[in-house]
Amino acid sequence: MPVKGPIASGPLLAVSNLTKLFGSFAACNAINLHIEPGEIHALLGENGAGKSTLVKMLFGVLAPTAGEILWMGDNVRIGSPGDARKLGIGMVFQHFSLFEALTVAENIALSMDRSISLARVAEEASRLSHVYGLPLDPNAHVADLSVGERQRIEIVRALLQNPQLIILDEPTSVLTPQEADRLFETLLKLKAEGRSVLYISHRLEEVQRICDRATVLRHGKVTGACDPRAETPASLARMMVGNDVAVVTSEGTNTKGDVQLEARHLSVAARTPFAVSLKDVCLKVKAGEVLAIAGVAGNGQSELFDALSGEYPVADDNAVQIRQKPVGTRNINARRLMGAGFVPEERHGHAAVSSLSLSDNLVLARNQSDKRAFLGGGFLKIIRQGAVKAATKRISEAMDVRKSGEDPPAGSLSGGNLQKFIVGRELDRQPAVLIVNQPTWGVDAGAASRIRQALVDLAKAGSAVLVISQDLDEIFEVATEIAVICEGRLSDPYPARELSREKIGLLMGGMHGKTEGAGAAHAH
C-alpha cells in the first residue's frame, strides 16, 4: 500500500519543548525530538523516564502543558486519539484493548467507520496481514489466540488506518524471540514503504538491531540522540541510567552441594478461571546453584511460586521438599522457619503494603522467622520497634536503598529501591533457599544489576536460588541451570552455558525438547 499525501521534505514529526506537568512533577521536561520519514526511531529510557507520557501526548491521550507538535511542518493540536488517527498516527499499546469474546474481524471493525461491512473489514484485514507477514485468521476468537497473535491484531488495526507514523510501546516485552523476529521483519517492511516507526523499548540489543536513530530519555529530559549502531550497549545504558551499570560477575565455579529445594511431580489445579494449572512439575535446586525458569508471562509462573512458597499449600506433602523434608502441606511461615526466603513478583500489595513503613514491611516477611528478635512481651507479641528499625537500617545500607527519611512508607520508594529492600529483607536472613519471581521486573538498570549480583553471590555462598523470570538477559546473567515453563509444564533443566536463545525460544513456545526437528519447522 503506498503512503498517502505529499512527502514533505522536512521531518515527519517534530516536537519542540514539549512539557507535561503532573502537579509540580515534570513527567516530560522540554522534550525535543524529530522523526524523519521512513526511519525506525527508538525511544529509550528506564521505567519512569517519561516515554509513555511523551507517547500519550503524541497520540492525543494526554494534553501537553507546554510546547508544540509539528506534523509535516504544521503546528497541530492533537486533542484525542481520533485526531491522531486522522493525521496519520497509529499506535500499538503495551496492554491490548481487545474483547476476548469477539472475533479478530469484529475487534478490528469496532475501531472503524460503522458504514464498512464486517466482511470487507475481514477481507481487508486478512489481505494486510498477508502483505506484512502477520498471519491472522479474521474469524478466530481473540480468547483462543496467543499474546503474539493478539499483538498482530493491534498492528493490523493500526495499519488499516494507513498511518505514516506507527508508535509501538514495548512491543517485544510479551513475545518469544521467534515472535519478535517476525515483528522486526514487519517493521522493516513498513520502513521500506516510507512509513516511520517510533519504537519504545528498554532492550538495547533490539534497538541496535533495527533502529536507525535513538532518542534517550532520563527523568523526563532528553539525555542523548544517537545512532544506536554506532554505540555499544554499555554506552546506551549509560545514557539511560546516567552512570555505568555494573556488570554482573559470576567468576569462579560454584561448589554444588545437596539438593535444597525440590518439586516432585507437583500438580496443582487452577484456582480461578484465569489461572494456569501446574502439570507434573519436577525440579531440583542444589546448594550453590541458580536455577532460572524462563517463560512467557502467564504460563504458570505465579502458580508455581504460590505452591513453592506455601502461600497456597498443596495436598501432597511430598510434592515440595525444602532441605530434603516434605513441606507441601505446610504454610509459608513454616517454610521460612526451615530456611527458605521468598520474593514475589508484585511489589505493591503482595511483597509489601504501600501505606506501611519499611520497618512494618520488614515485620511483614519476618514476623515468625525472626520472632525472637522482633517480638517481645510473651503472648502479647509486642513488636520491638527498636530492633525492627535497626534491621531496616542495616538492610537499607547493605542494599543501597535510597529513600526519603529514616522509615518512609513503602509506596514512596521508587520501584527499584523498594525491590532492593524486598530482596535485601530476605538476603539479610541468609536463607538456605531463595525463591524469587521476576526479581527485576520494572526496575531501573542500576538496581537490577545490584539485585542480580546479590542473587549470584548468595548462590556462591552456598544457598540454592530459584529465579523465575521473563527476561532472558537476566536469566543468562544469573543462572547456572535453566528450565522453561510453558502452559504449566516445566522442561528439563539445561546447564546455562549449553543453552542458546533459540533453543529457549522453542521451549517457550511449547517444544519440550522431544520433537525438536518438527517443532523448529513448525515455529518458523
Partner 1 sequence: MRIELERRPKVSALFSILSPFIAFALTIVFGGIMFALLGKNPVAALYSFFVEPLSEVWSLHELAIKAAPLILIGVGLSVCFRSNNWNIGAEGQFIMGAIAGSILPVVFYDWQSPLMLPLMLVLGMIGGALFAAIPAFLKAHMNTNEILTSLMLVYVAQLFLDWLVRGPWRNPEGMNFPETRTFGADAILPEMLASGRTHWGFAFAIIAALAVWFMMRYTLRGFEITVLGQSERAGRFAGFSSRKMIWFSMLFSGALAGLAGISEVSGAIQQLRPVISPGYGFTAIIVAFLGRLNPLGIIAAGLVLALTYLGGEAAQLSIGVSDKVTRVFQGLLLFFVLSCDTLIHYRIRLVRERFAALKTDEAH
Which is nearer to partner 1, 336 or 452 (by Cβ)? 336
| Residue 398: how many other CB atoms lie within 10 Å | 13
Q: Which of 247, 303, 239 is closest to 270 using CA atoms?
A: 303
Q: Restricting to residues 117-176, which ones interact with partner 1 according to CB under 8 A?
A: none
Contact 37, 10 (CB under 8 A): no
CA 477-216-185 angle, 5° bins = 70
Contact 420, 399 (CB under 8 A): yes
What residues form DSSP beta bridges with 14?
A: 34, 70
Which is nearer to partner 1, 391 or 496 (by Cβ)? 391
Q: Does 47 bind partner 1 (CB under 8 A)?
A: no
Separation between Cα atoms, residue 29 and residue 39, nearest integer Å: 25
Separation between Cα atoms, residue 64 and residue 79, nearest integer Å: 10
Q: Does 342 bind partner 1 (CB under 8 A)?
A: yes
Q: Does 360 bind partner 1 (CB under 8 A)?
A: yes
Separation between Cα atoms, residue 4 and residue 7, nearest integer Å: 8
Selected binder of partner 1 within 3, 21, 26, 61 (CB under 8 A): 61
Separation between Cα atoms, residue 328 and residue 84, nearest integer Å: 54
- Smallest gap, in angstroms, from Cβ of residue 353 to partner 1? 5
Torsions phi, psi for 58 (to 5 deg) = -65, -30
Say which DSSP state 47 is in. T
Q: Does 80 bind partner 1 (CB under 8 A)?
A: yes
Which is nearer to partner 1, 275 or 364 (by Cβ)? 364
Which is nearer to partner 1, 79 or 408 (by Cβ)? 79
Considering only the stretches 78-86, 116-124, 131-139, 185-193, report the one whose residues sit in contact with partner 1 under the rule CB under 8 A: 78-86
Assign 60 to helix, strand or coil. coil
Note the helical H segments in 341-444.
Answer: 358-366, 371-374, 385-398, 415-427
Which is nearer to partner 1, 111 or 146 (by Cβ)? 111
Separation between Cα atoms, residue 138 and residue 103, nearest integer Å: 7
Q: Does 86 bind partner 1 (CB under 8 A)?
A: no
- Smallest gap, in angstroms, from Cβ of residue 93 to partner 1? 6
Q: Does 355 bind partner 1 (CB under 8 A)?
A: yes
For the record, the C-alpha cell of 445 comes out as 538498570
Q: Does 503 bind partner 1 (CB under 8 A)?
A: no
Q: Does 220 bind partner 1 (CB under 8 A)?
A: no
Which is nearer to partner 1, 343 or 506 (by Cβ)? 343
Q: Does 23 bind partner 1 (CB under 8 A)?
A: yes
Which is nearer to partner 1, 241 or 433 (by Cβ)? 433
Q: Does 375 bind partner 1 (CB under 8 A)?
A: yes
Q: Does 273 bind partner 1 (CB under 8 A)?
A: no
Give the x/- contact pattern for partner 1 in 376-395, rule: CB under 8 A.
Answer: -x--xxxx------------
Query: Could you tell me how many residues of this chain bind partner 1 (CB under 8 A)?
Result: 41
Q: What is the 3-state secondary structure (H, E, C) of 210-272?
A: HCCEEEEEECCEEEEEECHHHCCHHHHHHHHHCCCCCCCCCCCCCCCCCEEEEEEEEEECCCC
Q: Does 372 bind partner 1 (CB under 8 A)?
A: no
Considering only the stretches 65-73, 245-253, 293-301, 325-333, report the one whose residues sit in contact with partner 1 under the rule CB under 8 A: 325-333
| Contacts with partner 1, residue ranges (CB under 8 A) | 22-23, 25, 56, 60-61, 79-82, 93, 95, 97, 309, 311, 331-333, 336, 342, 344, 346, 349-353, 355-356, 360, 363-365, 367-368, 375, 377, 380-383
